[in-house]
Structure 1
Amino acid sequence: MVTCPYKSCAYSTNVYTSFNAHKSRTHGDSSSADLFNHVSTDEDSVGLSAAGSSVENVDLCEGLGPSENEDTLDDEDDGLCDMNQLNIQLRQNLASLFLKMQAILHVSDLAAQEIHHLGQVFLLSRPLLKQNISEVLQKHSTIVNDAVLEEVVSVVMDSNVFVRATAEGAELSSNKRRKSYIERAYPVVMPFQYVIEHGHAAVYVPILPMIQELFKHTDAFDKIQEARCSQPSHYMSHRDGSYIHANELLSASPELKLPLILYVDELEVSNPLGTSRKIHKLLSVYWVLADLPSKYRSALHVIQLALLCKVVAVNSGKRSRNNPESESPHCNIKRPRRAEVNYLPNFPRGEDASSLERLRVQVVEEVSKMDKNLQMIERLMQTTYALRRKQIIADNPSQSVKDLLENWPALRIESQVCAEFHRITNINLRSKFYAELDKHTPRLLAVYRQKAARTGKTAEALRSIFSAYDLLEQCDVNHRRTAALRALPVFLCEDDSAFFRTWNTEKESEPDIADLAVGLLTMVNEDPSSPVQFSPARIAIVLEGDIVLNDLSYLADAFLMLLGLMYALNICYPKKLIHTFHFIQKVIMGLDDFKPLTPRLLNLKNDLLGRV
């Protein structure tokens, strides 16, 4: 390798044309004073002195002629070297043209082969070329015989790179020969095909050889070693995050590590509205060097393909029409379904399952005390949030509510239910629920009364609710909230008979809730005279036949806590009240899961928002 003779430059190469390009690009404005002392100069060239062992005397045209023992390069050799390099470069440019036609312009192999007819046109123009050369020679009073003229014409014809490279039997004459030439002359990494079960295949482009070629032929390696600007408490790049600092592989030693960013994309190659949709859909995985500056990571030539296969190949063997007993194609993929923000987070930095389990035991011990330290419970519940979500969602999603609350008894505390809801959604449960409910209650009651003025079972049920509401001597905000929530499932034509239960504590020693999966239990001290209890003794939340919370004063408090428990324990909404809870989630709480509202919910939402 020959090192650049200019001071403060570490560039080195063994290709003459590359050095010329570097010299003109980097040292175009430099003078002889910028050269090393052992480098001699003259008016036309810059040579490397034979003295000193720090600069090697290597032939800049490697492989074109033996010159390792020569101290200087003769002008004649330089000219020959330039011509050979020009010839090679022109061939590569022509090969690049064919490659771009097929890869970028999507020209078919047959159409590309037809371009060879241009060579035939050039051969047929030989008489015209001969005549033009003859006229030029006569113009300059140069007389040559026909043999010399034919020789000149033949040399001109043979010097045409396109004709010579695409002639029959030449390197670029056919698609197969062009492919072989590109594999030899270009840094090509060949993909591998892997056969997946059920006859499907996937094509993989090795990532490590691609990185090696990328570093060898581009300046990507220099870019990732550039000094990165980092400011305390500022997230400038992925290197500033806590996860990469916790990763021993990426941060333990000062050795160079190359983290990658992976992208997954699916593309439909057939008519998405036709009968072949999803059959030929392709799955592609791309990667990019994460340490590249952000301004380079979005460049197309930096994003590399790693894997390509059909989507049906990934889902093969899963549940389908032909395999109804197999597992779902998307099983074991946990995704938020109700607009959860922190659905399944990672463990905190420096913590693992065993350390978090010890903290869980501390939570159980602290909750069991008569004098609970609520601040300590809050801190421990915050730290063990990731472990709790992992156990609820991933490890044992079918675990009963009773067993789950035995492991996490703090979820029986109202403040912790609200705190857990905030951890999941980043929304304050109490303030958001009460504020939005109070804003919509006047309009909700008006809509209910309009419906009650009609005929039918729904109107009759609404009239019975408002009959009890109108008989109240003093109507406060809690009564209005109760009327709005109690009439909501009735207005939406849903069966709430199993959800709302009443327990007369004077006549019955135990409530009838053994078969109640999700519901609200209203406790009264006398026989209820109306379907709605505006001033109950207490209201309890029942989950899977177990009373979870039993000291709630009003129906709005019960709905609020029940919504928090459903998010905290990942419980599905009751099927018979699906519209009621979707209204509370999407309209009241504003937790939009980007799924369209049903027509009845959309009509109610439009009635509310049109008058608010």
Structure 2
Amino acid sequence: MLDKLAQAIFAYTPYPTREEIEAVAQALVIKHPCLKDPGSVFGWYSWKFSLRFKAQNFRQKLRQAGCPELSVNKRSSSPLKSKRIKRAKKSEANFLPGFPDGKSENDLEVERTTLVSEMKKRKIDWKLVDKMMDNTYSLRRKEIVKDKPLVAQVQERWSALFFVPQIESEFARLTSVNLKEVFFSGLDQYLDRFLELFKAKSGLPELTKLTRALDICTHTKRTILLLGLSHFLRDDALAKTVEAGMKVGLVMVKDGEEIVDVSVVLEEAVVLTDLKDIPSAVAMLMGLLYCLNIDYPKNQKYTFEVIQKVFMNIGGGQCSSLVHGLRNRLLRKTM
């Protein structure tokens, strides 16, 4: 039975999170009450550990057998480390899917070239683009995960991916999550608590300046939270007014104190423009980091971890000690 469950879990994701393992264990005892563990409070606790062990064992056997979906994540024996490490985030449900039934790599490559031609037209058929992007998802993931191309190379081959609707669609394909809906919902959930923390944080001029802006309504609360988050966590700033030297982040264009335009920067190049507000731009930046399989920069890791695991609650079962402590403070009734 455990072997069958391990196979079913692998079909969904080769790297199940703790929450996903727990969900399977709970579903097992709900469907078959006779399997409840009399020694635990909930009746499924021991099943969780058995499933975790079985899933790890099943994954190891497949890796030894040369499963392509797992071989891309094997540690290299080479002493030389890649400068552009890209890893699967544990929340990615469809990290490296197989090609559609009846489709070969050559078939999908033909469809990709058709997609490129369509994107060059003056009047683009977006319904056709949606269909072709969906059909070629597995080819795109294979290229991004195995070849680790530069962002500029992905732009050349998959230009449609750098439009807002396609970023949202790709993120949903990868994580089964609605990007904007989940992000804004989580942002609003913690909004007031974060602003209280910002006001209580003395000695940080940038936070003081931002919280004062609340009184004159220069920015929305969402914008102030996101602009202040990296300062609060003592990371490098997520958004700046200049792009020189920026590897990952946002570039703002201001008219006085008002933000009139925002662009997304990846690998020191602007990849998305004409975003009118910071919250939408942060959502698109998160979407692109997932879609392009790019790790969070070390000097901004806590900022992105809070966005992913606190605001979006994706992979939130495993947090750094800093983010875990912060989330506990946010959930308290009093600061």
TM-score, with structure 2 as normaliser? 0.73
Q: Are 1:374 and 2:126 counterparts?
A: yes
Conservation of the 8 A alpha-carbon contact between 1:338 and 1:593: no
Structure with larger RCO (C-alpha < 8 A, sep 6+) = 2
Matched residue of 1:369: which SS? Answer: coil
Deviation for aligned residue 1:366: 1.3
Task: Name the amino acid aligned to 2:247.
Answer: A
The counterpart of 1:461, out of the listed 206, 215, 236, is 206
Task: Flag the 1:372–1:428 CA change in 2: closer, same or farther, 3 A.
Answer: same
| Cα separation, 1, equivalents of 2:80 and 2:208 | 51
Cα distance in 1, alignment partners of residues 80 and 261 from structure 2:
48
Q: How has the CA–CA distance of structure 1 residues 285 and 388 changed in structure 2, closer, same or farther, with 3 Å as cutoff? A: closer
Q: Which runs of 5+ in 2 are unaligned?
A: 1-6, 12-53, 66-75
Post-superposition offset of 1:375:
1.0
Q: 2 CA distance for matches of 1:385 and 1:392? A: 11
Distance 1:442 1:349, change over 3 A: same
Corresponding residue SS for 2:259: coil
User: Is the counterpart of residue 434 in structure 1 residue 184 in structure 2?
Assistant: yes
User: Are residues 383 and 578 of structure 1, via their aligned partners in 2, closer, same or farther at CA, if it must alter by over 3 Å?
Assistant: same
Question: How far apart, CA to CA, are the structure 1 residues paired with 2:331 and 2:216?
Answer: 29
Name the counterpart of 2:247. Answer: 517
Distance 1:501 1:362 in 2: 38
CA contact (8 A) 2:88 2:293 kept: no
SS at match of 2:240: strand
Gaps of 5+ in 1: 1-236, 242-262, 267-282, 287-306, 308-317, 329-333, 504-511
Instruction: Say whether the 8 Å CA contact 2:199–2:207 is kept in structure 1.
Output: yes
Show the counterpart of 1:539: 262
Match of 2:236 among 475, 495, 505: 495
Matching residue's letter, 1:443: R
Q: Deviations over 1:269-294 (max 9, x none)?
A: xxxxxxxxxxxxxx9969xxxxxxxx
Of 302, 306, 313, the match for 1:579: 302
Larger Rg: 1
Q: Do residues 553 (structure 1) and 279 (structure 2) align?
A: no
* 1:561-597 per-position Cα deviation (integer Å, ceiling 9, x unaligned): 00000001111112111001001111111111653x2
* Equivalent of residue 223 in structure 2, options 482, 486, 493: 482
Give the alignment of 1:181-192 within 5 angstroms: none
**What residue identity is the alignment partner of 1:403?**
Q
Distance 1:349 1:587, change over 3 A: same
Residue type of the alignment partner of 1:604: L
Distance 1:264 1:462 in 2: 45
- Counterpart amino acid of 2:195? L
Secondary structure of 1:537's counterpart equals: strand
Match runs of 1:271-420 below 5 Å: 319=77, 325=79, 336-394=88-146, 396-397=147-148, 399-420=149-170
CA contact (8 A) 2:227 2:239 kept: no
How far 1:337 sits from its partner (Å)? 2.4
8 Å Cα contact 1:443/1:611 also seen in 2? no
> Are 1:542 and 1:549, in contact at CA under 8 Å, matched by a contact in 2?
yes
Tell me if structure 2 keeps the 8 A contact 1:356–1:384: yes
The 1:608/1:265 distance shift into structure 2, 3 A limit, reads closer
Separation in 1, partners of 2:114, 2:264: 26
**Over residues 413-456 of structure 1, what are the superposed CA-to-partner deviations in whole Å (9 max), with x where a residue is unaligned?**
100000000000000001111111112111111121122xx3x3
Q: Contact 1:418–1:428 (CA<8 Å) still a contact in 2?
A: yes
Name the CA distance, whole Å, in 1 between partners of 2:168 and 2:207. Answer: 31
Amino acid in the other structure paired with 1:463: T
Aligned pair in 2 of structure 1 residues 326, 536: CA closer, same or farther (>3 Å)? closer
* Inter-partner Cα distance in structure 1 for 2:305 and 2:98: 28
For residues 119-138 of structure 1, the aligned pairs below 5 Å read none
Residue 560 of structure 1 aligns to which amino acid in structure 2?
A
Mapped partners of 1:483, 1:565: distance in 2: 22
CA shift, 1:519, in A, is 1.6
Aligned CA distance change for structure 1 residues 461 and 366 (closer, same or farther; 3 Å): same
Q: 2:198 is matched with which residue?
A: 448
The amino acid that maps onto 2:241 is: T
Q: What secondary structure, in the 3-state scheme, does the structure 2 residue paired with 1:487 have?
A: helix
Query: 2: distance between equivalents of 1:414 and 1:284?
Result: 38
1:219-254, Cα deviation, whole Å (9 max, x unpaired): xxxxxxxxxxxxxxxxxx99xx9xxxxxxxxxxxxx
Number of residue-to-residue matches in the alignment: 269
* Equivalent residues in 2 for 1:35-434, closer than 5 Å: 319=77, 325=79, 336-394=88-146, 396-397=147-148, 399-434=149-184
Q: 1:445 to 1:354 in 2, by over 3 A?
A: same
Deviations, residues 105-132 of structure 1 (Å, cap 9, x unaligned): xxxxxxxxxxxxxxxxxxxxxxxxxxxx
| Identical positions, percent | 32
- Code of the residue aligned with 1:360 in structure 2: it is R
Q: How far off its partner does 1:392 sit?
A: 0.3
Q: Deviations over 1:474-497 (max 9, x none)?
A: x6xxx110011111111112232x
2:254 and 2:233 map into 1 onto residues whose CA distance is 27
Q: Which structure features the higher share of helix residues?
A: 2
Q: Which amino acid aligns with 2:168?
A: C
- Deviation of 1:600 after TM superposition, in Å, equals 2.4
Whether contact under 8 Å (1:335, 1:343) holds in the other structure is no
1:463 and 1:336 map into 2 onto residues whose CA distance is: 37
Show the counterpart of 1:208: none
Q: Find out whether 1:601 has 2:331 as its counterpart.
A: no
Report if the CA contact (8 A) 2:87-2:294 is conserved: no
Amino acid of the residue matched to residue 437 of structure 1?
L
